[in-house]
Structure 1
Amino acid sequence: MHLKQLLYLSLLGFSPVLAHNSFATGNTEIVWTKQSADTTALPLDQSVRYGKLANGLTYYIRKNSEPQERVFMYLVNKVGSILENEQQRGLAHFLEHMAFNGTTHYPNNALVDYLQKNGISFGADINAYTSFNETVYQLQLPSNDSELVNNGFQILQDWAQGISLDHSEIDKERGVILEEKRAGKSLGERIQDKTLPVALNQSLYAERIPIGTENVIQHFPYQEIESFYKNWYRPNLQAIIVVGDIDVDKTEQQLKKQYSTLKNPAKPTVRPDYKIPLKGKNQFLVVTDPEITSTSIDISIKYPEKKLKSADDFKQSVIKALFNDMMANRYNPIFRIANPPFLGGGTSLSSFMGGLDVFQIQINAKPGRLKEGFDAVWREIFRAKQHGFTTAELQRAKDSYLNQMENIHQEKDKISSSQYVDEYIQHFLHGTASPGIDREIELINTIMPTIALQDIQQVLIQNLKDTDRDITVLAPEGEKAQLPNEATFLKWISDLSKEKTAPYAEQSNDQSLLRSKAQSGTIIKEEKDETLGTTTLTLSNNIKVILKPTNFQNNQISFQGFSYGGTSLYADQDFQSANNATNFIGASGLGNYTADQFEKAFAGRTASAAPFITETAQGISGLSNNKDLELALEMMYGYFTEPRLDTAVVAGILANAKDNLKDRDKNGDVVFQDSLMAILSGNNIRRTGLTIEKINQINPQRAFEIYKERFSNASGYNFTFVGSFDIEKIKPLIATYIGGLPSTGDQTPRFRNLDINIPAGKIEKKLALSKEDKAMVYLILSGNYDYNTANNIALQAFREVLEIRLLERLREEEGGVYSPSIQMDYDKIPDGRYTISVGFSCAVANADKLAQYSLEEIEKLKNEGPSEDNLNKFKTNDKLSYETAIKTNDFWSNYLYSNLYNGDDMHRIFKRSALRDKLNQTDIKNIAKQFISDKNVIKIVQLPETIK
């Protein structure tokens, strides 16, 4: 993970996402000593064109060809909910919505319609968000379409100062935003409502949650939002960011011409810089709720933020990242004992908000073991404070950090434009240094040798203070009377601080990973497919390997291997053991190493391999960089030949699983999801929710036996490798580690068809389970399906045009939902089936009506087909999406695997464009009529408990 990504983790999910830099800067050398620190601001990368217009607008322009022929265009406003007055609570967010409901050049809903016709997907390519301090708008466009790019500049200008704010559109949007607010009602929101005022020290931030208040959303006068827009949307608070496959000089010329016309108010209001004040005192809060299922403690120690601007700030951020890594590794062994003292726990240093950083300590306690869990977490903190860390711990953390940064550095010409945009957003909003990956590597190589054990320990000493500390306890309603008070918690801390802890100790292991070396096989056949760009190897043990070298990444190789079988081959009484087998093996270590020893021995390496067992298959997936591919393959080989079962670790997993189920039935959302799965599976025990009875069915030794049965014979396996490898160099590794896998002949049977399908017919259930005044509606249509490429793309088109119509009908026309979700699945194995599901939240009174409207739209598509405009929106978007997707390793890895699994034609991808382009309205109507039956409809509605 990149250093700034580590730095900007957040307590409450308000963290910005920062990018991997790829910049070149000056050659100034910094030499660190114990006595000196460089506080000079790091210069901005010279590869980004940066400037300000006379009106104060800031701009960033960068040429970047990942993805090719695409450009990312953003408007960033230093304007968020914190700037609202009491009569405007929620209007910063409301204004963001209105940007899509009419502008100077795109009245009403013309903007979204225009972009969709050009293949731009709402949500993925065109979107926006509003937070406390900023509102950000985004466009992703084809850079080779000059007219569309020019219009993109116009759209950003309209957003900056040309939002129409038509009164009728405002009134229509009130219902949409109220539904967005309703959709967020949950246990999480109830907890947030009680905890945020404490976390935010009762500051203005606690009163300016971006979604706003229901009263303001329903009743605000038009002039309030007009005033907010005119007052705050102004060039001296705005930035334009353009990154992509562009000409920087031409883009700068156009940007200057386009945005120099933006005006600031004659007497602009000074934009306050709101902070969360530190009060020097502690706060204690207990929150209980009927739906909370376990007791947890959050201790947050707040202190002024340390911005990342100078070289010394950079060094301090690296030290904090190392500290977080080392503390996390102190807790990992505790999770792996037979009876862990807690369900979860740990510490971290991170950025918060409002000018604060935070040192956070968290404990998720087991039932009846609150003090024991608290002591276990806090004891490790004091152990580190008293004795510090070990040389081995620091070296592992350094190795891991350096390895991550080197991986990023090797991919510097493959970094996505979106990541650069994120980097510049933080530079504009917060002044966060953006020196570039080359400069960062230079800095890291200079400072890393100077970081000593006392630097890490000092982080803990400085941040573990006893002021500005919040203790928040979350617990089930029924445990309120038994919870300790603040004085008791403070005594626990005091008692532990007096305890003499032993220094941290660990067992080292310098053995080879595996007890036996791979018994190399041979390559007996090699076939090249020039069209697909693949080479297929047949090995002496009857395994086939498809190799597809790519240049999409410089330092990434992924592989997958599978054969048929899976849990379907086992009886119901063995299902839970079979279903958990790979979890137990993966947590137990490998070969000569326990899980803890493995983590320590191979820190600083980029190699992973993980076994899996699904219902119809078993196999291995893995990932590595170039230099660690052999280690990843050795791990893969070990999971076939030398798996381990650590009974203590497995006992801990099972104990935690049981404890996690306590009070599960008190959470209405969980019960609803369990009920949904039971209905959709015909109450099959392999699909229904987890219970104590099911956990008790798990036999670890039987799970180990099943695992070995599924992996003892690799004959008939198919493997795929995609990434940055040379075929001739990888072939010896393939012959050794895959060719050496055990093979005893063909595996039979392939798998069993368990015939677990969604029930046919019409089913309607209303479940009064929610604690909130809202309804959750699910419509599920399913049935038999003829799986083939032509049908698949037609069904995809059906899903897309249905989504467009439901957004138009349920959101824009009815104002009844915020964002309906339409999911579609189709399968070939174990047999041809399709499922289409529609889900949305809404007012209880509207649930049946909106469900009926959804079914009406499905029937209209069946009887009339889609409009030509909507079908063309699908075609254009699909074309653009595929142009980008096929230039990624993930796409090809999944494509090759799925084709092998389904037995499909590997060349079907070359038919896709023609099949898509010739789709017509009749084709969509016919695919719907052929498979989508109104006789197989399941309607399930979650209602408040008071509604029967």
Structure 2
Amino acid sequence: MTVLRVRISTLGLLAGLLAVARLATAQTQLPGRETSAESVASYALSQPMPFDPEALVGTLPNGLRYYVRANGKPVHRAELRLVVKAGSVLEDEDQRGLAHFVEHMEFEGTQHFPGQSIPDFLSSLGLSIGADANAATSYDDTQYTLRVPTRVPGVLDRALVILEDWAQGASFDQRGIDRERGVVLSEWRMNLGAGARTQEKIRRALLQGSRYADRAPIGDPAVIERAQREALVRFYHDWYRPDLMAVIVVGDIDRDAAVTMIREHFSSLSSPSPERPRPAFDVLDHAGTRYTFVTDKETTSTVVQLSDLRPARNQGSVGGYRDIIVDQLFAAMFGARLDELAQSANAPFLRAGADRGLFPTPRTKDEAVLQALVSNDGVTRGLEALVTELQRVMQFGFTASELARAKQAMMLGYERVVTESPDRESSSRADEYTRNFLQGEALPTIWQELAFHRRFLPQITLGEVNARTADWFPDRNRLIVVSAPETAGITLPTEAQLAAVVKTASAKRLQPYVDAAAGETLLPTPPSRGTITKTTVRADTGVTEWTLSNGATVVLKPTTFKEDQILFRATAPGGTSLASDDDFIPALVAGAVVPAGGAGAFSSVMLDKILSGKAVAVSPFINELDEGMAGGSTPQDLETMFQLLYLRFTQPRADSAAFAAMASQARALLANQMASPDVVFNQTIEAALSSNNPRRQAETPSMVDQWSLAKSMAFYKARFADASNFTFVFVGSFTLDAIKPLVETYLASLPATHAHEKWKDLGIIPPATVVEKTIEQGIAPKSEVAIVFSGSFDYDAAHRLALRTMTMLLQGRLFDTIRQELGGTYSIIATPDTTRFPRPEYTVRIEWTCDPARTEALVHRVFQEIEVVKATRFDASQMARVRETLLREFEANSQENRYVLEQISQAYADGSASDLAAVLNVPDQIQALTSDAIQQAAQTYLDTAKYVRVMLMPAGGSGARAALRRGGPTPD
């Protein structure tokens, strides 16, 4: 269970509660769907939580556990999981990294799916490895996921055969082992950045003295390089056994039929004899506080963290569930105080947060965490502030108004989740069953969870929550970690100095926190209502278009995809392209620094308090060629969302303290960015693609000196001064009758100048020749490569689909060769993009990480495969498979409000609104797609006479220069 930061408007509160009440009344006859506190009043705190009666859960005679549930989201799909309580902590010394290696080998041939039969089976259904079939190894478990269509006869049964083979039918073919060894090492290499190194050192400090400290799932590359088949098979034989397994099937299925299939496929699984006992490991307790300092030459930020481990609560009991609620209230209130402090003038940290939950490794512990992102010289000040604020709660507690706000947010959040329950995705339910199997998390229905919240929240007192303060960070099992860049000019405090800070801050006599009243409404008096002057109904798309009295255009698409979601996007042409060179930097940051000041009469802190418990988001943006706002709400919160939208347009608020805090954050975050090879790599790509145009320059600390709140505010106001230039698109759960008065009140009343400004063409064009750059930076033994093709584009739906399809097929080809055949990388990605303005252009970006010694050969092979794709024509059966893949993708996307919003918004922004029906009719576009169109796209858009290639090599020099000389397209 997690804290739900959901916001419900005062204006819509009564309607929301009545809707939930009606829902509860209508469903009281169904087991587990009563939501009153009385329905769960009989449960003692010592009792286990109730179990969802709609889930079929059982255990086979061999010990295998299964979970089966029918769920209609997404339609015609099922999510399957094989969960094994075996991970890296169980590895013998000669197996370090082989739990993960075994996971990879499950896709390299099994009893019923030899060789590459699993990818072939998926491909026949329009599915792929990664998106539809994947796996992950952790310390204590390994999880396999398979997503399949259910309306194709026999597919669910066949998919269960794959799970059966994963359980005990892996082949461990020697050729597959040798091939996959390179892939596993590439995955290890891909994660060799500063972040991974820092987290590894922190993990070792947390797990000091435990077996977990020496059993990272990625393993030891030396062991992986020389691992023999016997060691892999030994791990698989010892630990892949039914008493350590669960099979999960959730989706658009017949529950009873699925259970029958599980019994047929998994009852014959057996455990080895003799059976190796499955040991349990823990983290040792320690007295007092330990300190750890973690520095890295490529780290870009400084963080101070307090962590405390204690025995985990019983997640399956009623009392444990109640304890979690109390801790979540504490975390929500304490986190809100830290948020407020971070936005103050001369704030002691840039950002901070608090949390408590089950420790992932091992799950025998809970962990409480306080963490602050600080400036390079702000470690002691940040730590002092964290301890001081904790001490403030210790001395005075929270206030009654803070607790009331946190309770309201939590309650309204669960009421919203009940409303959304019919729209819950199968993957979410499968995650829940996975947690039940691995960590004993309770499995009540969401209606029962709401009932328990209605029972417990009124009972939880301010004194009870305040009493948790001492339990969060006692002076035992406590670890204080400082992670920072390793560079000249940064001097970290010593352990003794940090201990002195903690001691001094803990002894302070403080003043109580004052919870300033925030008010109840954003707009006590609504603006004068405008009118709708024109209505256009596009019956073939279900879209209605209104023209307002101020000239604004409103586009509405009601849907039934989710009962509790309404999304919107408002855009107008212009953006930072209209800023002068002198004002460009303040214009660039205006979309961030102005909203940070709040809106109307309210600071950002006050807005957070007013909107607490409401599901409302309105986020302004100012891009290079356009500006606008985006966000959403629930139906109950719709008026609050419109009010905030109105205020963001008409009453932006200048807050010098918030501006200073944001500037301080920016300086600190930018100070060390050039130490990161990844940052330098991406900035080099962007500079090459823009021909080093100053409008695309990377942000630096010196640029923050050019910030100006006055200039940012002036530019922001100018960009949002003309409502007649905006198109507002709304998609989701609303009716035209319900939204009409809100549109008339809050949108038709927006001021309009009728200037109808347009963007300015800045003349930024991609290079028309080959540009090759090599960066030598970084200590990790890995290289990163990006090849970007770009140029002019025939911008219409047919060409966009051809480009996207060609890129999808290119990525599949590169996956088959660079990863599967050569074992050269863990992941290689090809991504297309198109833009309509200021001129129609496209990009195709290919990226991968690899062994520096193989960079030259892999670059050469990538260009060879590009030529193969350009020469390929697909026959009728191959085109049928391509179309099936595209149709399945569209079927899933078309049921999402966000996708529909993006398509409609893009059509209006591109000037294609008059042809909206054709734009939205993707199935017809797919059926019209031909092999010739795909081949033509490859030949046109993969032009090896003009591309940008950037390579990041480790610091050293010779290898990078040799690769640059010898890499590139295959000679004719």
TM-score by length of 1: 0.95
1:906 and 2:906 are equivalent in the alignment: no
1:442 maps to a residue whose letter is A
1:799 and 2:794 are equivalent in the alignment: no
Instruction: Choose the corresponding residue for 2:166, options 146, 150, 159.
Output: 159
Instruction: Choose the corresponding residue for 1:419, options 422, 425, 428.
Output: 428
1:947 and 2:951 are equivalent in the alignment: no
Instruction: Choose the corresponding residue for 1:185, options 169, 184, 192.
Output: 192
Alpha-carbon distance between aligned partners in 2 of 1:846 and 1:939, rounded to the nearest angstrom: 16
Cα pair 2:46 2:318 within 8 Å, conserved: yes
Cα pair 1:684 1:756 within 8 Å, conserved: yes
1:252 and 2:252 are equivalent in the alignment: no
- What residue in structure 1 maps to residue 143 of structure 2? 136
1:779 maps to a residue whose letter is I
Cα pair 2:5 2:613 within 8 Å, conserved: no
Q: How far 1:655 moved relative to its partner? A: 2.1
Q: How far 1:33 moved relative to its partner? A: 14
- What residue in structure 2 maps to residue 774 of structure 1? 782
The alpha-carbon distance between structure 1 residues 461 and 867, as it changes in their structure 2 partners (threshold 3 A), is farther
The alpha-carbon distance between structure 1 residues 513 and 911, as it changes in their structure 2 partners (threshold 3 A), is closer
Alpha-carbon distance between aligned partners in 2 of 1:829 and 1:509, rounded to the nearest angstrom: 43
1:25 maps to a residue whose letter is G
1:917 and 2:927 are equivalent in the alignment: yes
Q: How far 1:281 moved relative to its partner? A: 4.7
Q: How far 1:140 moved relative to its partner? A: 1.0
Secondary structure in 1 aligned to 2:50? coil
Alpha-carbon distance between aligned partners in 2 of 1:547 and 1:475, rounded to the nearest angstrom: 49
State the aligned residue count. 933
- What residue in structure 2 maps to residue 596 of structure 1? 605
The alpha-carbon distance between structure 1 residues 600 and 705, as it changes in their structure 2 partners (threshold 3 A), is same
- What residue in structure 2 maps to residue 39 of structure 1? 46
184-193 or 585-594, which deviates more: 184-193
Alpha-carbon distance between aligned partners in 1 of 2:257 and 2:672, rounded to the nearest angstrom: 62
- What residue in structure 2 maps to residue 10 of structure 1? none
The alpha-carbon distance between structure 1 residues 512 and 301, as it changes in their structure 2 partners (threshold 3 A), is closer
1:357 maps to a residue whose letter is D
Q: How far 1:239 moved relative to its partner? A: 1.0
1:495 and 2:493 are equivalent in the alignment: no
Q: How far 1:373 moved relative to its partner? A: 2.2
- What residue in structure 2 maps to residue 827 of structure 1? 835
Deviations 1:321-376, CA, capped at 9 Å, x for gaps: 11111011111222222322222333322221211111222233323333222222
The alpha-carbon distance between structure 1 residues 5 and 125, as it changes in their structure 2 partners (threshold 3 A), is farther
Q: Please list, as runs of the form range in 1=range in 2, the aligned pairs for 1:720-731 lying within 5 A after superposition.
A: 720-731=729-740
Q: How far 1:601 moved relative to its partner? A: 2.2
1:532 maps to a residue whose letter is T
1:484 maps to a residue whose letter is P
26-35 or 695-704, which deviates more: 26-35
- What residue in structure 2 maps to residue 740 of structure 1? 749
Deviations 1:126-162, CA, capped at 9 Å, x for gaps: 1111111111111111111122222111111111111
Q: How far 1:515 moved relative to its partner? A: 7.3
Alpha-carbon distance between aligned partners in 2 of 1:271 and 1:293, rounded to the nearest angstrom: 41
1:263 and 2:270 are equivalent in the alignment: yes
Q: How far 1:289 moved relative to its partner? A: 2.1
Q: How far 1:96 moved relative to its partner? A: 0.9
Secondary structure in 1 aligned to 2:526? coil
Deviations 1:223-274, CA, capped at 9 Å, x for gaps: 1111211221111111111111111121222221222122222332221222
Alpha-carbon distance between aligned partners in 2 of 1:453 and 1:197, rounded to the nearest angstrom: 37
Q: Please list, as runs of the form range in 1=range in 2, the aligned pairs for 1:229-628 lying within 5 A after superposition.
A: 229-352=236-359, 353-354=361-362, 355-478=364-487, 482-510=491-519, 512-514=521-523, 517-628=526-637
795-804 or 361-370, which deviates more: 361-370
Deviations 1:625-672, CA, capped at 9 Å, x for gaps: 111100100111111111111112112211221232223333333233
- What residue in structure 1 maps to residue 963 of structure 2? none
- What residue in structure 1 maps to residue 968 of structure 2? none
Q: CA RMSD in A?
A: 2.3
Alpha-carbon distance between aligned partners in 1 of 2:306 and 2:232, rounded to the nearest angstrom: 39
Cα pair 2:387 2:506 within 8 Å, conserved: no
- What residue in structure 2 maps to residue 82 of structure 1? 89
Alpha-carbon distance between aligned partners in 1 of 2:665 and 2:84, rounded to the nearest angstrom: 46
Secondary structure in 2 aligned to 1:449? coil
1:119 and 2:126 are equivalent in the alignment: yes
Deviations 1:381-417, CA, capped at 9 Å, x for gaps: 1001111000000011111111211111101111111
Deviations 1:777-808, CA, capped at 9 Å, x for gaps: 11111111111111111111110110111111
Q: How far 1:110 moved relative to its partner? A: 1.4
- What residue in structure 1 maps to residue 11 of structure 2? none
Alpha-carbon distance between aligned partners in 1 of 2:886 and 2:705, rounded to the nearest angstrom: 47
1:724 maps to a residue whose letter is S
The alpha-carbon distance between structure 1 residues 872 and 179, as it changes in their structure 2 partners (threshold 3 A), is farther
Cα pair 2:57 2:68 within 8 Å, conserved: yes
1:364 maps to a residue whose letter is L
Alpha-carbon distance between aligned partners in 2 of 1:30 and 1:517, rounded to the nearest angstrom: 38
1:936 and 2:946 are equivalent in the alignment: yes
The alpha-carbon distance between structure 1 residues 623 and 677, as it changes in their structure 2 partners (threshold 3 A), is same
Alpha-carbon distance between aligned partners in 1 of 2:413 and 2:128, rounded to the nearest angstrom: 33
Cα pair 2:872 2:935 within 8 Å, conserved: yes
- What residue in structure 1 maps to residue 20 of structure 2? none
- What residue in structure 2 maps to residue 18 of structure 1? none
The alpha-carbon distance between structure 1 residues 33 and 429, as it changes in their structure 2 partners (threshold 3 A), is closer
Secondary structure in 2 aligned to 1:115? helix
Secondary structure in 2 aligned to 1:262? coil
Q: How far 1:918 moved relative to its partner? A: 4.1
User: Alignment identity in percent?
Assistant: 33
Alpha-carbon distance between aligned partners in 2 of 1:387 and 1:325, rounded to the nearest angstrom: 17
Cα pair 2:377 2:492 within 8 Å, conserved: no
1:614 maps to a residue whose letter is N
Alpha-carbon distance between aligned partners in 2 of 1:385 and 1:641, rounded to the nearest angstrom: 42
Q: How far 1:468 moved relative to its partner? A: 0.9
Cα pair 1:801 1:870 within 8 Å, conserved: no
Alpha-carbon distance between aligned partners in 1 of 2:673 and 2:488, rounded to the nearest angstrom: 15
1:104 and 2:111 are equivalent in the alignment: yes
Q: How far 1:27 moved relative to its partner? A: 7.0
Q: Please list, as runs of the form range in 1=range in 2, the aligned pairs for 1:653-668 lying within 5 A after superposition.
A: 653-668=662-677
Alpha-carbon distance between aligned partners in 2 of 1:427 and 1:299, rounded to the nearest angstrom: 29
Alpha-carbon distance between aligned partners in 2 of 1:643 and 1:855, rounded to the nearest angstrom: 51
1:99 maps to a residue whose letter is E
Deviations 1:473-494, CA, capped at 9 Å, x for gaps: 2233246994332222222111
- What residue in structure 2 maps to residue 62 of structure 1? 69
40-49 or 283-292, which deviates more: 283-292
2:328 maps to a residue whose letter is A
Secondary structure in 1 aligned to 2:780? coil
Secondary structure in 1 aligned to 2:313? coil
Secondary structure in 2 aligned to 1:587? helix
Alpha-carbon distance between aligned partners in 2 of 1:28 and 1:537, rounded to the nearest angstrom: 41
The alpha-carbon distance between structure 1 residues 113 and 680, as it changes in their structure 2 partners (threshold 3 A), is same
Cα pair 2:594 2:654 within 8 Å, conserved: yes
Deviations 1:579-601, CA, capped at 9 Å, x for gaps: 21121221111111111112112
327-336 or 380-389, which deviates more: 327-336
1:714 and 2:723 are equivalent in the alignment: yes
652-661 or 896-905, which deviates more: 652-661
1:649 and 2:626 are equivalent in the alignment: no
2:831 maps to a residue whose letter is Q
Alpha-carbon distance between aligned partners in 2 of 1:632 and 1:222, rounded to the nearest angstrom: 60
Cα pair 1:797 1:871 within 8 Å, conserved: no
- What residue in structure 2 maps to residue 93 of structure 1? 100
- What residue in structure 1 maps to residue 766 of structure 2? 758
The alpha-carbon distance between structure 1 residues 61 and 376, as it changes in their structure 2 partners (threshold 3 A), is same
Alpha-carbon distance between aligned partners in 2 of 1:361 and 1:771, rounded to the nearest angstrom: 31
Alpha-carbon distance between aligned partners in 2 of 1:185 and 1:212, rounded to the nearest angstrom: 13
